[in-house]
A = this chain, B = another copy of it.
């Protein structure tokens, strides 16, 4: 994810070297797969495709690539046939008179066709322009093998000759993409899913997850290429349901457990290069998810050693969060530690934040029980207070909806998280979600698959599987109909041109928090 920039440079960090050593010892050796382009692509306008462009197979034959020599301002687009993450090499020669000037080449790596068309110079958004997957390369001597040193996330590769000279042209051969991931599709059991639409959604979820599984669970391999705790939680769940790479999950948990502030706050994300470094960004809900991730892991593996190692950090995080809860059991959020919930800031997040707190502490309590924590009763009491406040001050029984305390605002996020936190009984949860469907669907205003995931899971939890499946099809299925090879960072079904950054070249079209259908289908349907 990318979030409004926080700068908190005065934070004091604890590095727990013992935990970090365990994180490092679980670093995977990436599995490499050689991919060659399947076609030469033409990018053409198409109103029904993502950001208005689609790719069609060119009349030019990829098998004859070296014959399509390129001079000044000529270009060609290679299509890998699917989305991959990895490194690119290509052989280049000069054809014609001797090479009397360097070759100046631009390479553009694109996840979706619209990126090829977008002009980098036109992008002026707040996210760094450095994310644009575009390189300019001079080659003084040909023939040469151009081995691009950086990693790219892409399906399409545009070779654009800025100049040769009037006396010769550039000829390209042996384009090779070495795809990388901590996991291989070969290790994945292929489930039988009868509903073809769901099967497609499942397969693309899995591909999305695979491409984000590198030396950490990345949020997006194009951008930000980094471990965020909110994405990790969903990736870990999808991973248990598919590849089941436990080492990578452990590594990521130990990274967060090993780097907390001196007061015990867990950062929203961490960096692993050049050194292990926590980011100075804090999100209240993300911090709480450390406990829920540990809970999910222990639930899945029964691994006591991991629990022993990481429980103290989880406990500290919960203790710190509880300081934000007042006597009445009301979560009081502050500006320097906001909840995320979704990118949109057009709705009040207080009630959803209270629900996340309950969701997390309920899971933490189960860990505390396993750990025979002396303070178990205190946590149980705190949870009761939080729930009690939610039921009495935040629930409008007449409306069958949770509300915002002061304003009475009703929004989808409040219902969804209160249902996921199972504050009410199953029947009431069902009524809440039925009311939500009736009054709020089709949902508008949310920009992320992250939020849609929680809506779908809340529908399942509330015993409304048909509505859950329908929403999955309406949302993830719609991305497929628009050309998705992997699922996206951002998508609004009600606003197909929506781009959080104003240009497709900076958006991430393979983003971890959209990989959850693999988990949802496995857990609730199969």
Contacts and interface: CB of A to CB of B under 8 A. Distances in A.
A132 B142 CA distance: 18
A357 B104 CA distance: 40
A63 interface: no
A135 B136 contact: yes
A132 B128 CA distance: 26
A97 B13 CA distance: 13
A279 B98 contact: yes
Contact of A97 (B9, B131, B136, B163): B9
Contacts of A371: none
Interface residues of A, number: 45
A277 to B, nearest CB: 5
A227 to B, nearest CB: 12
A127 B100 CA distance: 10
Specify how many copies of this chain sit in the oligomer. Answer: 2
A140 B273 contact: yes
Contacts of A164: 128, 130
A280 interface: yes
A100 B140 CA distance: 33
Nearest to A277: B98
Interface in A129-148: 129-132, 135-136, 138, 140-143
Interface string A270-282: 0101100111100
A382 interface: no
A163 to B, nearest CB: 4
A482 to B, nearest CB: 27
A72 B129 contact: yes
Contacts of A96: 7, 9
22 contacts: A5-B165, A5-B167, A7-B167, A8-B97, A97-B280, A99-B271, A100-B128, A100-B224, A100-B226, A100-B271, A100-B279, A101-B127, A101-B128, A101-B131, A101-B223, A101-B224, A102-B128, A103-B130, A104-B130, A104-B132, A130-B164, A135-B136
Given A5-B167, A128-B163, 4 more contacts: A5-B166, A98-B277, A100-B279, A135-B136
